[in-house]
A and B are shown apart, each in its own frame.
Chain A
Amino acid sequence: MELDLIKYEMDGEIKRQIDNILGKFMSKTKVDLIVLCDDAGRIASYKGKTQDENEIEFVASLISGIFGAAAEMAKIMNEGDVLDIVQYESKNVNVLIKAVGKRFLVGVLAPKDASLGSIRLFIKELCGDIETLFAGLKLRPAKVIRLKPEDIERKLNQVLGAG
């Protein structure tokens, strides 16, 4: 039996539209970074001053972790409560994390001089736009590799070399 290892990607048009939505938000608010990720911390898209993908991978993980931890606290304090926004301040940065639908999160890192009121207003608009887009989301296979289970083991052994 042959098995397919498939990488799925968002439909190109939807990806482009998400990038546009994030870009529009950046230009309106002058934030340092905006990341759209799922609740397990996997990046869907991002825009920002930093383009270091490794750094943003970790930021996405922490966005999901911080939001998840706050959601747990909300549930402990008030059973059935659903968290919508987490906001905190450090000396140099304001951070906002907002739920987008049930599975996605948007995290924003803004400088201290950015208007939080505007950010909160535009983030609501952005979430609405993304939810509308996600309603029509289609995944397409980006690449197919045909592998047998024993080939996966052999190829991983070539890469990792655990024997």
Chain B
Amino acid sequence: MKLKIVYFGASLAGKSTNVKVLHSILKEKGLTKGDYISMETDEKRTLFVEMFASQINIDDHPIDIKILTTPGQFRLHPLRKVIMKGVDGLVFVVDSQREREKINFLVLRETAAVLKEENMNLFDIPVVVQYNKRDLKDAMPVDELQPICNPWDTDYIEAVATEGKGVLETFQKIVTKVLVKTCQER
């Protein structure tokens, strides 16, 4: 079984940090396959994709998981479409800072449009919302973020990705959701 999990969210929300930290956590547990691949600009911003592969075993049944990020900058919209092709599960990384409230919502709307162009519905795909940067002073309360960033009313995780908090929990939650959905469909 091969799964494709994509982390999406606003520019500088912490998608790459999540995936980098997740890679080191899984590598330590011996659950990664190969290296971390990154296509960045000189300013260390994601140009196309950052990704790595993981393999976990459930009852001796190997599950290959590719973990990818989308580029967050708005001008890179066509590349986001490419990354989203054939996605099995999504992690919406939300920047909790009040000043990023609108941009989080715009990203959500744009992602729905991107998926629609690929004949997919954002509401049909398993999603986990991660409220990142919870350590910052101007982080909005989760109660205020929920109506804006979680229209699915799906599970959410509070995180500080730079410190590794909530990173593995988010990943475990999305893989669980994808597997349960996959099973139900069969």
B41 interface hit (Cβ, 8 Å): no
B79 interface hit (Cβ, 8 Å): yes
Say whether A145 contacts B51, CB under 8 Å: no
Within 8 A of B (CB), among A35-90: 38-42, 53-55, 57-58, 61, 64-65, 68-69, 72-73, 76
Say whether A54 contacts B82, CB under 8 Å: no
Encode contact with B along A131-163: 1 for CB under 8 Å, 0 otherwise.
Answer: 000000000000101010100110111011111
Say whether A54 contacts B58, CB under 8 Å: no
B33 interface hit (Cβ, 8 Å): yes
Q: Which of B35, B53, B56 contacts A159 (CB 8 A)?
A: B56
Complex-state Cα separation, A68 to B57, whole angstroms: 31
Encode contact with A along B19-32: 1 for CB under 8 Å, 0 otherwise.
Answer: 00000001001010
- Among B91-99, B135-143, B173-181, the stretch that binds chain A is B173-181
A7 interface hit (Cβ, 8 Å): yes
Give the shortest distance, in Å, between B151 (CB) and chain A (any CB): 23
B75 interface hit (Cβ, 8 Å): no
B44 interface hit (Cβ, 8 Å): no
The residue of chain B having its C-beta at the shortest distance from the C-beta of A53 within the complex is B33
Say whether A152 contacts B82, CB under 8 Å: no
The residue of chain A having its C-beta at the shortest distance from the C-beta of B175 within the complex is A156
Say whether A65 contacts B29, CB under 8 Å: no
B154 interface hit (Cβ, 8 Å): no
Count of chain A residues near B, Cβ 8 A: 37
Q: Which of A41, A57, A64, A73 contacts B78 (CB 8 A)?
A: A73
Say whether B1 contacts A39, CB under 8 Å: no
Complex-state Cα separation, A40 to B2, whole angstroms: 11
Say whether A40 contacts B87, CB under 8 Å: yes
Say whether A5 contacts B49, CB under 8 Å: no
Complex-state Cα separation, A147 to B182, whole angstroms: 12
Complex-state Cα separation, A39 to B81, whole angstroms: 12
A3 interface hit (Cβ, 8 Å): yes
Complex-state Cα separation, A153 to B169, whole angstroms: 12
Say whether B59 contacts A162, CB under 8 Å: no
Say whether A69 contacts B34, CB under 8 Å: no
With A4-B183, A69-B78, A159-B57: A39-B85 Cβ-Cβ less than 8 Å: yes
Within 8 A of A (CB), among B87-109: 87
For A53, the chain B residues whose CB sits under 8 A away are: 33
User: CB within 8 Å of A: which residues of B?
Assistant: 1-2, 4, 26, 29, 31, 33-35, 37, 48-49, 51, 53, 56-59, 61, 64, 66, 68, 78-79, 81-83, 85-87, 168-169, 171-173, 175-176, 179-180, 182-184, 186
- Provide a sorted-by-A list of 19 A–B residue pairs whose CB atoms are within 8 angstroms: A5-B1, A7-B1, A40-B85, A55-B34, A57-B33, A57-B34, A69-B82, A72-B79, A147-B58, A152-B58, A152-B180, A153-B176, A156-B172, A156-B179, A160-B26, A160-B171, A161-B29, A162-B169, A162-B171
Kindly list 4 other residue pairs between chains A and B, CB separation below 8 angstroms, not including A54-B53, A72-B79.
A58-B37, A159-B58, A162-B169, A162-B171
User: CB within 8 Å of B: which residues of A?
Assistant: 3-7, 38-42, 53-55, 57-58, 61, 64-65, 68-69, 72-73, 76, 143, 145, 147, 149, 152-153, 155-157, 159-163
